[in-house]
Structure 1
């Protein structure tokens, strides 16, 4: 009787191990980057500058040809304007991607997994790049706040639902 229980228990552990989520980062890369120091280009004087920094983030994920591989891309647009007069100080655009090997995630959970968990792993590298670029571009290093990827994902779902509702509503 003990052997049967041991066998059943071993099979259950093997099944749990088979459905366990496995993820690894295969590569990280800058797909595209642009930094414009508008202050230097226009020859503006540094005088009374009170920067107002806006950060816009978008995400994209797609399946790659290899089994269980996905590419996830962050797109950051960072704009700094002078609060006093609205003049742009700098503009930074960064597309940063990662290639992930993901197994064991149920199909219905794969989309949120790719757009929440994968970007969380890439974010510290994005933050460092933005800090380095702004510093090297002649400004104090900008350490952007952590991104709430769950909230970002929920906002995108709400936006899509609203767009579908608008499409389904007949125009009179």
Structure 2
């Protein structure tokens, strides 16, 4: 094995490594922005026959920079609908907008958007799950223990949807127009 040397015959010096910025995330606040629960069973009366609830969960996310330095507000929006599989009648509808204010440092700008849309909602999710579970139980239904949300898959789906929308929009802009 040969020794490495510079052109002047000296051993190479180690390049000083740039210190990696230290990732720092702090949850400054978390709160319910909006909460709604509609108990259709109580309003219309108990459904007749066999009740087989089918529950769907819709999730959407939003994030914005706040005025103070590296602070961001991340809003998770959950819409939980329970319908009777037998007749399609709505049993309940729960809507929750839950937000967190985060102080984030050390995340490169090009990685900030995925960080805000994946990591921050992941931190908020256990609280959302508890609120929805308590809300359904306190409304006379069995507590709904929401399955974990794959925020990475949700982020990728949104990127794919945006890319497809841009392609459609670009295709419409390039399409020739007919004059009658």
Please report the TM-score for the alignment, with normalisation by the length of structure 1.
0.89
What's the offset of the Cα at 1:43?
A: 1.4
1:147 is the counterpart of 2:134: no
Q: Which has a greater percent of helix?
A: 1
Question: Partner of 2:164 in structure 1?
Answer: 162
Q: Rg: which structure is higher? A: 2
1:127 to 120, 126, 129: 129
Specify the alignment match of 1:25 in structure 2. Answer: 27
Matched, 1:78 2:80: yes
Q: CA deviation at 1:48?
A: 1.1
Gaps of 5+ in 2: 1-13
Q: In the alignment, is residue 118 of structure 1 matched against residue 117 of structure 2?
A: no
Shift of 1:53: 0.1
> Which runs of structure 2 are paired with 1:10-21 in the superposition (5 Å)?
12=17, 15-16=19-20, 19-21=21-23
Alpha-carbon displacement from aligned partner over 1:68-109 (angstroms, at most 9, x marks no partner): 000000000000000000000000000000000000000000
Distance in 1 between residues matched to 2:169 and 2:17, nearest whole Å: 47
Would you identify which runs of 4 or more consecutive aligned residues in structure 1 move more than 6 Å? Answer: none
Q: Return the offset for 1:12.
A: 4.9
Secondary structure in 2 aligned to 1:77?
strand
Secondary structure, counterpart of 1:146 in structure 2: coil
Structure 2 partner of 1:5: none
The whole-number CA distance in structure 1 between the counterparts of 2:113 and 2:79 is 23
- RMSD between aligned residues: 1.6
Between 1:46-55 and 1:157-166, the stretch displaced more is: 46-55
Report how far residue 46 of structure 1 moved.
Answer: 5.8
Aligned residues: 161
Aligned residue number for residue 42 of structure 1: 44
Q: How much does 1:47 deviate?
A: 3.9
TM-score normalised to structure 2 length: 0.85
Shift of 1:44: 2.8
Point out where structure 1 has 5 or more consecutive residues left out of the alignment: 1-7
